[in-house]
Amino acid sequence: IPKRDWSSDVCSSDLDVRHTEFQGESTVQFFDSEGRELTWDDLPMQRAAATGKMARDVVMQIRLRDNRKLWVMGNAAPVCSRDGKVRGAIAAFVDFTSQKEAEDSRERARKEAFDRTTELHALLEAAPMGVWIAHDRGCRQITGNAFADKVIMGEIGRAHV
């Protein structure tokens, strides 16, 4: 297979691509993994072309004009001519939106479960009566609130239960 030097076929002005615009307004916005909006010059391909350094494992959110959000991860690398001058950049990104949404959903469910557990714990501790909870069907593991502990320890007589 003959080796081909593509750099001689590409003019730097051909690589000057800009955001797609619609009625003067950008159709997409780019954000880093922390939610900070990226300027055009912050994007991985532009950074690779400007600095001559590879950008690895870059995670970005792309917000489309119709409010859809896409999550992508990828790499960008400079494309250099034979004499070592940067002529442009190339990038490859993978859409992992569905995985990110599933991860976010799991995190929300975990937080909600933690919040409910915290609320239930506070309610049980404030209850003016003994409350026991069995953690298994055979009632081999049972826990109680502070009042229940006092009952078990004999600090509170049967008449108060």
**Model pTM?**
0.61
Q: Given its phi and psi angles, is residue 83 left (phi above 0), alpha (psi -120 to 50 degrees) or beta?
A: alpha
Residues of the chain with pLDDT under 50: 1-24, 161
How many whole angstroms separate alpha carbon 105 and alpha carbon 128?
37
Which tens digit of pLDDT belongs to each residue from 130-158? Answer: 888 899 999 899 888 988 888 888 776 65
Give the pLDDT confidence score for residue 103 in this predicted structure.
96
Which tens digit of pLDDT belongs to each residue from 14-31? Answer: 333 344 443 445 578 999
